[in-house]
Structure 1
Amino acid sequence: MLKRFVVLKSERAALLKDGDFERILSAGRHYFFDPMNRLSVQTWKLDAPMLDIKLVDYLLEHDPQTVAEHFVCMELNEDEAGLRYENKILVEVLAPGSRRVFWKGLVEQRLEKVDLQQGYEVAPQLAAHFLQPSLRAHAVSGLAGLLIVQVPAYHVGVLRVDGQVQRLMSPGVGAFWRFNREVLVELVDMRLQNMEVSGQEILSSDKVGLRLNLAATWRYTDVLLAHEKLAKPVEHLYRELQFGLRAAVGTRSLDELLENKQIIDEAVSAHVARKLDGFGIEVNSIGVKDIVLPGEMKIILAKVVEAGKLAEANVIRRREETAATRSLLNTAKVMEGNPVALRLKELETLERVAERVDRISVFGGLDQVLSGLVNIKGA
C-alpha cells in the first residue's frame, strides 16, 4: 500500500514507524510503501517552540547531525540570563536554567547570553528596549525577571541589593536583573515635606487631659546616612515628634500651656533637634495647630473668662462715671465765679430744648424765656 504525506512549508514533520521516530520530513509531498500500515507522521509549526524536548534529547544522543540541521537549541546555566531575538527583534527574556528549542527555516532565532555574575545593572541601551512594552509592535515576555524603575524629578532612589544599600539613583530610568538576587528601589522625595501628628491625648502636670495636633516640616539632608542608621526614617521622625510633644505637655500646667502655646513649639523643636542630630534629617519648623480641652473644662474656663470680662467692664464703668462726675464738678466751679460762662450754658441748654420742640411761642422777650428756664441766684 502506497501512502502519501504532505508537509506544508510552514511545518516540519517526523516520520514514525510503529510510533517510534524514523526521520525528519521537510516541506513537500512524501510517498512511502506501507503494506502493513505501520507508518505515521507528527507535524509541528515552524513559528512555535518545539515542545517535544524528549525527541530532541534522543536526537542529540543518537543523531546530533539532524539536530544541527533542523533545530536551534538555547540553553542557559544558573548564572546566565538570556535575550531571545526573532528576526533581530527582542521578544523574550529567559530566566537562568531555561531551555528552548526552535525549528530552523521560517524565523531567524538568536540567543544573547548575559552573565549575571558580572553585575545586577542592565545596560542603558538595553534597558530602553524594556520601556513601554505595550507600545512595541512585538511584546517582550519574561519581564518579571527585571526591575524597571523611573525616578521622578526632585527625587532620588535608594538602591538595595540583597538588603544592602548600594547607591543613590538620580532622576531617570534604570533597569536591574532580579534573577538570583533581591533588588529593591525606594523612592525618596528631597523636597520640604509636611508631617501631621494628630489626636495626641496627653495629661498636663495638673492632671488635665488634653488633645493636641502638631504639624512639622522636614526634609532629608543625607539620604544614605538616614537609611544607614534608621530602618524607617519617616516613622522614626514621627515617634520623636510624639515623644517631644508628650514631654513638653506633661511637665507643664494647663495655665502655662494656654498662656503661651509657643513654649510647646520650642520644647518639641529642641527635643527633636537633639534626637535627630547626625541622622541625615532636618526639621525646619514645628507648631501646635490646636489644643482641645475636655467638655467640663471648657465650661469652667468659659465661666472664668466671663467673670474676668465682667470685672473689667465694671472697672471701666466706674472709671468713666468718676471722670464724668469730676468733669461736672469742674464745670460747676467755673460757672460759679463766671456769669458769662453761666450765660453760655443757659444758651446751650436752650438750644438743646429747641431741638426737641417743633413750635415755640415767646412772650415777654428772650430775656424772659431765659429767666424762666434757668434761674440761678448768687448767695
Structure 2
Amino acid sequence: MPFSGVGIIIAIVVLFLVAALKILREYERGVVFRLGRVIGAKGPGLIILIPIIDRMVKTSLRVLVLDVPNQDVITYDNVSIKVNAVVYFRVIDPVKAIIEVEDFLYATSQLAQTTLRSVCGGVELDTILAHRDKINNEIQTILDEQTDPWGIKVISVEVKHIDLPQEMQRAMARQAEAERDRRAKVINAEGEFQASKRLSEAAEIISAHPQALQLRYLQTLVEMSSEGSTTIIPLPLDLLSLVKKPE
C-alpha cells in the first residue's frame, strides 16, 4: 500500500509537470490567460502554467507572408483590370494580436484586399503601370495604420501582377509602336539638322580658306582613282575658276 501511494503521488507530479511546463522557441510568445483574464505574454524558453487555471495561446514573431488573391478593379479612367499582391507583416504585440481581433491573419487578409481595390481604383492605369512603387507605399501606409491597434506591423506590400484585357493590351502595343516610330523620326530629323549644321560650318571654313578647297579636291581625286575603274584627268582649280556662266 505505501508503495502504491508513492507511485500515485509520483504519477500526479509527472502529470502536473507535463501540463505545467511549456517550452517556447526564440520566435514564439505565449499569451497567458488566468481564469479568463490575460496576465501578459511569456517566453521564450521555459514557462510554468497552472493546470486548469491557466491557458496559453502561442503566436509567432516571425515575418508572415500573405498572398492577396486577384481583385477586380476599375481604375479611375474606367479600365477593368485584375490585380494581386503580397503583404509582409509581423506581430509586434502578441497580447493585442490575440485580444483585439479574433483572427489577425484573416482580418489582415480582408483589409489588404479592400485596400488594394480602393487604392488602384483611385488612380489611372498609367499610374499603376509606371509608378508601382508609389502604389505599394500607399497601400503599405494604409494597412500599417489600420493594423497598428492589432499589434501588427506591415513591413512591405508588393503588387505582383496586373492582368489587362486583351483589347487594352493591343491598344498599348499600338501606342508603343507609334511612340517608337515618333522617336525614330525625331532622331532622324535631329541627325539631318546636325549634318546640315556641320556642312554649313564647313562651307564657311572653305570660303574663308580657299586652300582647304584645294586639299578637298585632291582628296576626292585620290579616292576616285583608288577605285581603278575610272580614268581621272586632274585639272587645276584656277582653270575652273576662269569658266564663267554665259550672260
Deviation at 1:171?
Answer: 2.6
Determine the structure 2 residue equivalent to 1:170.
Answer: 43
- CA 1:160–1:349: 2 relative to 1, 3 Å: farther
Determine the structure 1 residue equivalent to 2:24.
Answer: 151
Determine the structure 2 residue equivalent to 1:292.
Answer: 163
Residue 244 of structure 1 contacts residue 267 of structure 1 at CA under 8 Å; is this kept in 2?
no
1:247 aligns with 2:118: yes
Alpha-carbon separation, structure 2, partners of 1:217 and 1:348: 71
Determine the structure 2 residue equivalent to 1:27.
Answer: none
Residue in structure 1 matching 2:177, options 298, 306, 313: 306
Residue 84 of structure 2 contacts residue 161 of structure 2 at CA under 8 Å; is this kept in 1?
yes
Structure 1, unpaired ranges of 5+: 1-71, 74-84, 87-107, 116-121, 128-145, 363-367
User: Within 5 A, what are the aligned runs for 1:215-364?
Assistant: 215-353=86-224, 357=227
Alpha-carbon separation, structure 2, partners of 1:272 and 1:376: 85
Counterpart of 2:149 in 1: which secondary structure? coil
Residue in structure 1 matching 2:69, options 176, 193, 198: 198
1:299 aligned partner, one-letter code: R
Counterpart of 1:276 in 2: which secondary structure? helix
Counterpart of 1:231 in 2: which secondary structure? coil
- CA 1:196–1:352: 2 relative to 1, 3 Å: farther
Deviations 1:141-176 (A, max 9, x none): xxxxx5875422221123457776454331335676
* Residue correspondences, number: 242
Residue 218 of structure 1 contacts residue 284 of structure 1 at CA under 8 Å; is this kept in 2?
yes
Deviation at 1:341?
Answer: 0.5
Q: What is the identity percentage for the equivalent residue pairs of Structure 1 and Structure 2?
A: 23
Residue 92 of structure 2 contacts residue 152 of structure 2 at CA under 8 Å; is this kept in 1?
yes
Counterpart of 2:62 in 1: which secondary structure? coil
Q: Please identify which structure carries the higher strand content.
A: 1
1:110 aligns with 2:7: yes
1:111 aligned partner, one-letter code: I
Deviation at 1:212?
Answer: 1.9
Q: Please identify which structure carries the higher helix content.
A: 2
User: Within 5 A, what are the aligned runs for 1:122-161?
Assistant: 126-127=17-18, 146=19, 149-160=22-33
Counterpart of 1:199 in 2: which secondary structure? strand
- CA 1:161–1:348: 2 relative to 1, 3 Å: farther
Residue 195 of structure 1 contacts residue 216 of structure 1 at CA under 8 Å; is this kept in 2?
yes
- CA 1:342–1:186: 2 relative to 1, 3 Å: same
Alpha-carbon separation, structure 2, partners of 1:147 and 1:242: 41
Residue 23 of structure 2 contacts residue 46 of structure 2 at CA under 8 Å; is this kept in 1?
yes
Counterpart of 1:342 in 2: which secondary structure? helix
Normalising by the residue count of structure 2, what TM-score does the alignment of the two structures yield? 0.77
1:312 aligned partner, one-letter code: R
Alpha-carbon separation, structure 1, partners of 2:43 and 2:183: 64
- CA 1:183–1:351: 2 relative to 1, 3 Å: farther
Residue 49 of structure 2 contacts residue 55 of structure 2 at CA under 8 Å; is this kept in 1?
no
Counterpart of 1:205 in 2: which secondary structure? coil
Residue 73 of structure 2 contacts residue 120 of structure 2 at CA under 8 Å; is this kept in 1?
yes
Residue 224 of structure 2 contacts residue 230 of structure 2 at CA under 8 Å; is this kept in 1?
no
- CA 1:147–1:109: 2 relative to 1, 3 Å: closer
User: Within 5 A, what are the aligned runs for 1:88-103?
Assistant: none
Larger Rg: 1
1:156 aligned partner, one-letter code: R
1:213 aligns with 2:108: no
Deviation at 1:310?
Answer: 0.6
Alpha-carbon separation, structure 2, partners of 1:306 and 1:220: 48
Residue in structure 2 matching 1:377, options 203, 219, 241: 241
Deviation at 1:238?
Answer: 1.7
Alpha-carbon separation, structure 2, partners of 1:353 and 1:265: 65
